[in-house]
Amino acid sequence: MISLIRKELKQLMPFALLWFCLVVMFYGAELATVRIDEQSYLGWCDQYCDVGTNVDIALFTILLYMIAAYSLFPREFDDYTVDFLRSLPLSRTSIFISKVLAAWILLCFLLVLDRIIQAAFLLMNTQTITGKHYWNIDLQFLLRDSLFAFVIVAHGVFLSWFRTVGLILYCIYLVSLIWLEQAAGVSGIYNIFSFFNNEYDGTNLLLDWTTIGFHITVALILLLISYMLWTRTDSKPSAPRRGKVTKLLLSIGLSIVSFLFVAGYMVSMTQRSVIESVDSGIRKLQTEHFHFSYRDVNESAMRKLEPFVEPDYQALVALLGAQTQPIIHADMTSDSEHALGLASWKKIRMVLESEDEVDPLYRRVLSHETAHVFQAVESDRMLAKAGGSVGFFIEGMAQYTSFSIVPDPESRQSNWLISSVAWDRHNIKFEEMVNRSVFESLYDPELLYGIGDIWVDAMAQACGEESIGNFLRAVKRKEAAPNLSGPTYWRYHLQHIGCELEEVNNLWRKLMQEAIEQQSAGAFPYFDNVVVTRSEATDLITISAELRADESGILPQYYYLRVQSEAKLANTVSPVLNGKLVTEGARATVEFAVLPRLIDGKRFRYQLGYTPVPDSRTYFDKWRSGAVPD
């Protein structure tokens, strides 16, 4: 057996070489650009150690391990060398086990080697804090990654029997996971990426043994099936027909089943779209700059909206001094619960439900989304390319222009108030606003709309309203460095249009302070003494908080809880749940019931909120940490 494993290890040398090339490239680049005695454990570890799941790293690792697993059996069979092996006095079982073991041993060895290299480099850093090595975490990572390697080898050995078609099967599995996450919010233990979910308890890495156990069990089953498949498969065409016929029958069977599935699915989808078009009846409306599609039940609303669309469009063109006037395709049939409107390049997709009269909300949403189209077109997509640095401006500018074109002082005032209170209570800084992921990890992501609106208003006041359009065009100039981000991005681009970031920021803070000082309505109570409990009988998790009224002395009517969904692959929305207000004399408490399936693992994050002004946006507190009680 040992000789067999040694032989297999030798055959896996090209894979080890591939790994070596990657290591040389990675560490070579690091050594050439970084002073390694300043590089900390976290510096080496980077996103691999971050809390949560890094899908990119997991996917890359899966791909790498799959290469190793795929190089075990198929080539041996395709090159007929398996016949030589089988002619030796060795059982097929030992051949199978030695191959699987060899791949796993090699991967474990490479994992250990990688840890040793990092530890050796870290030894160069003798600093008392950044030079610390976390041996306990290292060992836990090593254990987890070794088990992960075993699982992926098992997957690979099984899939490689189907040769390259196996990769399609894996692709189906991954797409199904995304689907599951979108449908159920979480994909639970079925998700192989959960293996790479980093959760810490103090300075200890928590391993999710339920997920690991599940995948190891699946891996063992797959290995058993693979054992039966590989040990009963022959190499040559001249070999007994049974294996080939079985394989052929299996392929035909699989093909028929797949065809039936696809055909059935296609018919059902076609039926659905037919039913949809019959039931809802899509109508078209064309104006000078818009091509609308809408449901005939919304004919009245659309007809009432129509007189406004071109004047609103022209008002936006004038406000931005736009140099191009794109034709926009507006699909008004969205029934999304999460967004009234979406825009991408020259397309808008939005909800239109009102049948009686044109709700100014829809007119404003259309104007808001049209502003997004102009952002993309005027900046030639360069604004979106700046990603997290401009998120607040993208939404804030669309809010600013839509409120300018379709005024709604009451709604805007409440938005400003909520944003200003949040800014004041949370000490929100511009540096956080220009890093969307940081902002969203700390605060309510929707705050960017209101707080961005105030910022753009400050920009218009400090640098003139024309600065908004000028800024869009400034970011697309060819000589603009594409590697700017954060405050630097804003300093350089604003400087180009003769505007000073510090002046805008100063005015922005003043406007928010004024909004707080001029508050005449609304209640912004505080949440105190938050308790998380779990019912043993129902498994339901309850989060309760005492309410402490602010200066107004009144309490809002509606309360909400946002639980952070742990979706790993899909772009899903964190669920928002309603709360129940309980008052006992002067004591007021709000309670939220959370279904356990919304929480993946033991730890979760949540935000408590309320509607401070009737019909306003929700005010959410900062994110809090929660743990499911045992």
Partner 1 sequence: MGWFNLLVKDVREHGFAMLLLGVGFILVVFLALEQQLSGAFSMSGFEVVRFSLITNVPLIAFILGNRLIVKEYIGGTRKFVEALPIKPYTPLLVKYILGLFYIITLCVLVVMIVAGTASAAEDIDKTYLQLLIIKTAAIGLLYWSVVFFVSLTGRIRLVLYVLMGLALMYFINVPSIDETRFAPLALMDRQLFVFEREIFPWGELIQTALIALGFVVAGFVLALLNEGSIAEQLGKPISRRDMVAFALLGLGCMTVYSTLQKKWETPFYELSGAQVIRVSEPVIAVSYVEDQYLTQAQRVVDSLQQVISDFKADVGIDQLPQVQVVLNTDLEKTEIEPELTDGVLVTANFIQYDDFEYDMLSSIAMHHLLLSLTNGRWDYETRHWLLDGLARWWADGGENARDSVHNDELFALALVALRRIKLSDNPLHTWQTITDNYGFEAASAMSYSALLYLEEQKGTDMIVQLAADYINEDIGSSVVESVQSKFLSDAARFENITGIEFTAFTAQWFEWLKAKESEPVVAELLDAVPRIEGEIKSVVDERGVHRLEASFSKREGYIDGVEGTCVLRHQLASAYDRETMIYTIERDRQPCKTNGVAHTIESPYAAGDRVYGLLEFESERFHRPIPLWVGRIHVK
Contact positions with partner 1 (CB under 8 A) in 573-612: 573, 602-603
81 binding partner 1? (CB under 8 A): no
424 vs 438: CA distance, rounded Å: 18
Tell me the sheet residues that pair with 593.
Answer: 542
Concatenate the DSSP letters of all residues of 302-346 into one string.
HHHHHHHHHHHHHHHHHHHT-S----EEEE-----SS-SEEEETT
CB of 187 to partner 1, least distance (A): 12
137 binding partner 1? (CB under 8 A): yes
129 binding partner 1? (CB under 8 A): yes
> Using CB atoms within 10 A of its CB, is residue 158 exposed (0-12), middle (13-18) or buried (19+)?
buried
Measured from the CB atom, the residue of 483 and 520 that comes closer to partner 1 is: 483
> Using CB atoms within 10 A of its CB, is residue 346 exposed (0-12), middle (13-18) or buried (19+)?
middle
553 vs 525: CA distance, rounded Å: 8
Measured from the CB atom, the residue of 1 and 124 that comes closer to partner 1 is: 124
> Quick one: tokens of 206?
């928590």
- Residue from 89, 209, 238, 284 in contact with partner 1 (CB under 8 A): 284
Binding range to partner 1, per CB under 8 A, among 139-147, 317-325, 338-346, 403-411:
338-346
- Give me the sign of the Cα torsion angle 189, 195, 198, 200: positive
189 binding partner 1? (CB under 8 A): no
- Residue from 570, 576, 577, 588 in contact with partner 1 (CB under 8 A): 570
- Residue from 310, 500, 514, 539 in contact with partner 1 (CB under 8 A): 500
Binding range to partner 1, per CB under 8 A, among 312-320, 395-403, 448-456, 567-575:
567-575
Measured from the CB atom, the residue of 201 and 410 that comes closer to partner 1 is: 201
H helices then E strands: how many in the chain? 22, 17
CB of 165 to partner 1, least distance (A): 6
CB of 196 to partner 1, least distance (A): 16
Among candidate residues 504, 514, 517, the one with its CA nearest the CA of residue 393: 504
For residue 34, the number of C-alpha atoms closer than 13 Å in the C-beta half-sphere is: 17
Binding range to partner 1, per CB under 8 A, among 143-151, 306-314, 451-459, 526-534:
526-534
Binding range to partner 1, per CB under 8 A, among 236-244, 356-364, 410-418, 485-493:
485-493
291 binding partner 1? (CB under 8 A): yes
Q: Which residues of 355-370 are buried (b: 16+ CB within 10 A; e: fewer)?
A: eeebeeebbbbbbbbb
- Residue from 139, 249, 269, 540 in contact with partner 1 (CB under 8 A): 269
- Residue from 466, 502, 514, 539 in contact with partner 1 (CB under 8 A): 502
314 vs 317: CA distance, rounded Å: 5
532 binding partner 1? (CB under 8 A): yes
385 binding partner 1? (CB under 8 A): yes
539 binding partner 1? (CB under 8 A): no
